[in-house]
Chains A and B, each alone.
Chain A
Amino acid sequence: MQIKRLLSLAALLGLASLSIVAVVAQEATETPTIEPPTPFDCKEGVELKGEPIKIGIAVAQTSNVALLGQEQVIGAQIAGEFFNNCGGINGRPIQLVFQDTAGDEAGAINAFQTVIADGVVGIVGPTLSQQAFASDPIANDAGVPVMAPSNTARGIPQIGRYISRISAPVAIVAPNAVAAALDLNPDIKNVAVFYAQNDAFASSETVTFQETVNKLGLNLATVQTFQTTDTDFSAQISNALALDPQLVIISGLAADGGNLVKQLREFGYEGLIVGGNGLNTANIFPVCQALCDGIIIAQAYSYANESPINQTFREIYKEAQGKEPPQFSAQAFAAVQVFVEALIALDNEVGLDTLELAELRTRLNDTLLNMTYDTPLGPVGFVSEGEADGEIIQGQFYVAQIQMNEDGQTGSFVFIR
């Protein structure tokens, strides 16, 4: 009886605290403007000397999260080479210390403790938000600044003073796609939302989509659920199409999302389709083929961004990998860039040699929060005070639309915003 009462009390309180977090996150996002950053000044041909300054890169190089982690490793490696070619930290080289977090929480903690013991000034990582909730408190207690390259869950910067992120939370990125759809078709009234109930990311992303629909004054006609393992969606589609939607929003993964799009079109749906981040991959092309055409997906990064630093990054990436750089690589690059630029600024201000490691880490954290950066993601700054310090303020977001080629097998993401 006692346990039951405690549990139900806990449930109530849990709900309350969750909604508090949500409010905090939202308030933080309503400070959208930052000072325009000065472009990064590359001093080529400077001879590097002195003890290297270590930056830890603790991301998932193994496990099932490694698909994302490998892209981050590539982005960080490009950044390490690029900034050393550009004169390092006023002539002192930077050294990236890679440690594998694997895909679990214990692995993230082990990797963080290894790089902290190694004497890094800051850490880029870990890959997953769930891992961040385990490992970030350790770095925060040790006074080591952390720049999260891909944590998008609510509550990450709130872990502590030393925790920041370069990855815009899903609550900020996703609504852009709905806004873009409204631009394309201002007559949208009814919206049908689909999401994969058994996928962690999809089930939290859909909450953001539904809130956006309500906020924009659209009619959320129906919410249909499916499983990522489903192949037949006719029941859900019939239910939704009976309500005459002009916009369909899908949160799922590549295979199921692609199939759902295909069947929607086969059932005669002709309106716009917005896809979540799970559909943000070329892997859906073979699934829905020609019927993929026109899916709208919001992005935190666009390789088409014309800033010089992005074009340089894009060139190096394309040369090495033979394809356009993905969001994860760009975010990892940007995370290293933030550390480098803040270190240079701190060196100009006081001189890094004069600081003990612990003081250097603290000063670095204070410095990086108060600067703005011209990164491949566009202009970037941080909330520098309060509970949400370290939350990213990103100057621009992007929306892409899938355009399939005539063969129906290949296609590309065309940026429309």
Chain B
Amino acid sequence: MDFFSTYGFLIVSMLFQAMLGLSLYIPLMTGQLSLASPGFYALGGYIAAILSTTVFLPEGGGKWESGTFPIIYVLIETVLAGLASALLALLIGFPSLRLRGIYLALATIAFVEIVRVLSLNLEITGKAIGIFGVPQPFINKFDYVVLALPLLIASAWFVYRLERSRVGRAFTALREDELAAAAMGVNPTTNKVLAFVLGAVLAGMVGAISAHFLNTWNARQGTFDVSILVLAYVIIGGSRTFLGPILGGLLLTALPEVLRAIAGIQGLPLFLSQFLLDGRLIIYGLLIVVAPLFYPQGLITPDLFKRRAVKTKEAGA
């Protein structure tokens, strides 16, 4: 009980970050390095924060007591955020996906910046301070797991099936060789935009729940920093299977807090616990730099599964 009240927030954040990693992974399936996820994440968060503080008010006005905001409203906001993200992704997907590689990455960074600057200047997004007092459907942060875990499982299952479907194989073909894929009759534009839209929908939905989860939403949520962080999930976790970004998101979100917890263990020498506390972000940064040297493909690679599959086959024969 005590464990969940202290670390419940962290556990659910890990799930959310894993989904953000996944949302960046989907466009990557077609070979598109798009850093746009945080932009849609921010958009989804604003939709939920604005709706829940201005439209979904309790009967007779006033404020929702903590823990009484109906979950159905959260679900409605999540769906709306997903739809809005899909629409926006369609609009910007067609022109921007004509760019490739680093140029696409730059264009998506520009999109994230535009969202940030707009929300800093618009009245409706609360300008620099943002929107606060977002009503709570749960009293305990850990209870958000009933929203986060099913969404993660559903999106992971979706991507797992996608990788094995006709569309998924078209994605992979595009990633490996766009020219050859096009010659085989795979439409590059449609498939790339589809992957881009799917990633955007997931990021938007995660944003909508996160606005409730964080109590507040502001222009600092979907920024370039977040883009880079989410990219790190994919690089550390592995970019060739959907499990990679999920693992990366879980691990990298937990790490700073795990170091904080280790520093709090009784009986550690003072200098060590002080170093773990003050230097935990240094350790974090070092790991991000060092990990790719030892795992250039990320922690999880498809070979990991192949080798086991081959072994079991050999054992059977």
Residue ranges of A at the interface with B (Cβ–Cβ < 8 Å): 3, 6-7, 9-11, 13-15, 17-18, 61-62, 98-100, 102, 104-106, 109-110, 113-114, 116-118, 129-130, 133-138, 141, 153-155, 159, 197-201, 203-204
Taking CB atoms, residues of chain A closer than 8 Å to B220 are 104-105, 130
- Picked from B53, B84, B218, the residue with its CB within 8 Å of the CB of A14 is B53
A204 touches B128 (CB 8 A): yes
Contacts A10-B55, A62-B281 given; does A109 touch B214 at CB 8 Å: yes
Q: Are A14 and B260 in contact (CB under 8 A)?
A: no
CA distance A382 to B121 in the complex (A): 33
Extra contacts besides A3-B83, A104-B220 (10): CB < 8 Å: A3-B84, A18-B123, A106-B214, A110-B260, A116-B6, A118-B264, A133-B216, A134-B214, A197-B121, A198-B117
Q: Closest residue of chain B to A2, judged by CB?
A: B80
In the bound assembly, the distance between CA atoms of A183 and B266 in angstroms comes to: 59
Closest A residue to B67 by CB, please name it: A141
B219: chain A residues within 8 A (beta carbon): 200
Those of B94-142 within 8 Å (CB) of chain A: 117, 120-121, 123-124, 126-133, 136, 139, 141
The reply to whether A138 and B141 form a contact with Cβ atoms under 8 Å apart is: yes
Q: List 26 A-B contacts (CB under 8 A).
A: A7-B124, A9-B54, A10-B54, A10-B55, A17-B54, A62-B278, A62-B281, A105-B218, A106-B13, A113-B5, A114-B264, A116-B6, A130-B130, A133-B132, A133-B133, A134-B214, A137-B136, A138-B215, A198-B117, A200-B127, A200-B128, A200-B219, A201-B128, A203-B120, A203-B127, A204-B127
B119 to chain A, nearest CB (A): 11
Q: Tell me which of B5, B66, B133 contacts A117 (CB under 8 A).
A: B5
Q: Interface SS of chain A: helix, strand, loop or mixed?
A: helix
A-B contact number at CB 8 A: 123
Contacting B218 at CB < 8 Å: which of A116, A130, A199, A204?
A130
In the complex, which of the residues A14, A136, A159 contacts B123, with contact meaning CB atoms closer than 8 Å?
Answer: A14
Per the bound structure, the CA–CA distance linking A316 and B282 in Å amounts to 31
Q: Are B9 and A110 in contact (CB under 8 A)?
A: yes
Q: Which residues of A contact B13 (CB under 8 A)?
A: 106
When the two chains form their complex, are residues A18 and B50 in contact, meaning their CB atoms are under 8 A apart? no
Whether the Cβ atoms of A154 and B129 lie closer than 8 Å is yes
User: In whole angstroms, what is the CA distance A252 to B157 when docked?
Assistant: 49
Q: B66 contacts which chain A residues (CB < 8 A)?
A: 137, 141
**Distance (whole angstroms) from the CB of A62 to the closest CB of chain B:** 5
Which residues of chain B come closer than 8 Å to A137, judged between CB atoms?
A: 66, 133, 136, 215
Contact present for B55 and A13 (CB under 8 Å): yes
Contacts A62-B281, A109-B9, A159-B133 given: A13-B120 contact, CB under 8 Å?
no
Q: Are A13 and B128 in contact (CB under 8 A)?
A: no
Q: Which residues of B contact A104 (CB under 8 A)?
A: 220
